[in-house]
Amino acid sequence: MPKTDVLIAGSGSAGIFAATWLSIYNIPFTILERRPGPLKIGQADGVQVRTVEIYESFGLAEDVLREAYHILEVCFWGVDDDDESNRDTGKETVQKSGIKRKSRSMDTQRGLSHLPHVILNQARMNGLMLGKMERILKEKGNNRSGIEYGWTVQGTEIDEGLKGDVGEYAVKVKAEKEGKEEVWEAKYVLACDGAHSTIRHSLSIPMLGDTTDTIWGVMDIYPLTTFPDIRRKCTLHTPSGNLLIIPREGGNLVRFYIQLPAGSVAKTVTLSNLQDTARRIFAPYQMEFADVYWWSAYSIGQRLAERFEKDMRVFLTGDACHTHSPKAGQGMNVSLQDGYNIGWKLGSILSGLSPPSLLTTYVEERSKTAKDLIDFDKEFSRLFSKKEEWEGQFAEYFVKSGRFTAGLGARYADGEIVSQRGSSEDLAKGISVGMRLPSAQVIRFCDCKAVQLQGVLRSDGRWRVVVFGGDAKESGDGERLGKLAALLEQMTLRFTPPTSDVDSIIEPILVLHSKFVDVEQEDIPDYFWPVSGKWGIRDLHKTYIDDSHYNAGHGHAYEGYGVDTSVGALVIVRPDQYVSKVTSLDDVEGVKSFFEGCLIKQR
């Protein structure tokens, strides 16, 4: 009977992201995937700016940005009210003679992120992360982990006598491949097996919400058309139906999402049905199809799992615990962030760095995010399907919801690893505790390179203590910084294994507000350029300056973060880039107390 620390059912976005975290922590895992190999044709394609930020944290953003279609604008189309033939006849559906562009908007609000909203198919997105995972496993010599293709998971059960001991393999998962049955034993199981999750069914966890499904048709096509905005993201609202245009990567490929009439049955929908509906919606513009790369019809209900875990040993992620419509491009993005959230927590627990209670934060944080998603999707769907006075209301709601649709709306509540009540948020008014750290341009001191501060926070399992230390050349600031560094180093060592580098668990990041040319390396305390690595070389990549760059201008980081240069601030950032705490530079005891709640003392 094979054993593994974490068994993951499904190699979709959530499963791959969780597995990548586990590979970083060098934790044994097995993914059981029913397909015969990696995903070849993507189902989802919208990549939110938050997702691009996450890919950047794994060193993969350049690949995504190079290959993807960049969405910069959205246009809202509807019936041409000036065309007299578009009159109300009292009938349910009227074949209109004209449509026109009613309004347009930037796709992502200015200042939300330094990275764009893009389109790249899910197969490629998953492939990039899968490649990252496999490279990490190879670097660490981890041959105990990987993906097993062709296995159909049949169910899971938890051993009541073992579940109280986190070191025990308390969960059994049964799976079948080519007539052969096998049972795996695991310490933890992640259900990443989709909307019809076998794991969820075997645990008798119901999905709550809509009892009827909305039917959607989707086509990836090469269009022959006179429609002028075919290479822009568009919504079209007409008496013949509603349609969403998503331009795809490659220059010519376009995806249509078509909401089908009530009473439609997904299994009976044909490609001709979808094409005919699209022609009617686009009339009087020509719409023909040079080729159809892929198409499907499917039902989607807005549903939420009654619970996201069982005995804190089995956890639901992605579509296994929340389903919704495809209109706002949330699915793949929210699912992968489920895996991104739980993966590092499992890695930290199984590495002996954090207590098992850390997993309660996955349930608290992602169930709230999923509920917010369902609530948003209901309103978004209501407006998208509305028959009258649609374009203006929908466009207004789209703009207002910009932060949410960009994937930046999640704010985690107070708990074991979020301390809003224990924070002094007025010290950094531009940083919200419980939300991801926004970015700002700073200058890396060691080589004068202009970088985004968020991009410095790589997904490598480390916590960060970001110190806004003021001006290192000012005698008062410099003295304060030296005392702070000594106390932080003493605190950090308590949670660092004796054989590990001082920055391996908690990494210090220093952001100064000084004239770049006035600062010398000896002005910076040793804690912010520690000896590390197998060669014992000092790491000079932890100090940044908020100043005007030779070529890139001034990032105004202190101003953007709302930090007073004479007061400074200290920000604790989680391994997933979310802000845990904002406090003063003299509150080392508060920092120590926070880490005592989520990290285990190592010495």
Q: What is the Cα–Cα distance from 248 to 231, expressed in whole angstroms?
A: 8
Buried b or exposed e, range 28-42, using 16+ CB within 10 angstroms: bbbbbbbeeeebeeb
- Find the catalytic residue in 34, 200, 232, 248: 248
Question: Considering only CA atoms, which of 179, 184, 178 is closest in space to residue 144?
Answer: 184
Q: What is the Cα–Cα distance from 575 to 244, expressed in whole angstroms?
A: 36
Cβ within 8 Å of residue 528, ≥6 positions away: 467, 485, 508, 510, 542, 543
* Residues 223/229, Cβ–Cβ less than 8 Å: no
Active site residue 293: no
Cβ within 8 Å of residue 257, ≥6 positions away: 216, 217, 218, 243, 244, 246, 326, 327
Residue located via tokens 């008014």: 429
Active site residue 257: yes
Active site residue 248: yes
Instruction: Using CB atoms within 10 Å of the CB of residue 294, give its burial: 0 to 12 exposed, 13 to 18 middle, 19+ buried.
Output: middle
Q: What is the Cα–Cα distance from 283 to 100, expressed in whole angstroms?
A: 11
* CA-CA-CA-CA dihedral for 544, 545, 551, 555, to nearest 10: 100
Cβ within 8 Å of residue 112, ≥6 positions away: 49, 402, 403, 406, 408
Cβ within 8 Å of residue 563, ≥6 positions away: 427, 428, 430, 468, 569
**Max CA pair span of the chain:** 81
* Residues 451/442, Cβ–Cβ less than 8 Å: yes
- Find the catalytic residue in 25, 34, 45, 544: 45
Active site residue 45: yes
- Find the catalytic residue in 28, 223, 247, 326: 326
Instruction: Using CB atoms within 10 Å of the CB of residue 603, give its burial: 0 to 12 exposed, 13 to 18 middle, 19+ buried.
Output: exposed
Main-chain phi, psi angles of 549, to 5 degrees: -90, 155
- Find the catalytic residue in 257, 544, 561, 578: 257
Q: What is the Cα–Cα distance from 8 to 320, expressed in whole angstroms?
A: 12
E runs forming strands in 408-546: 441-444, 449-452, 463-470, 506-512, 531-532, 537-538, 543-545
Could you list the active site residues? 45, 248, 257, 326
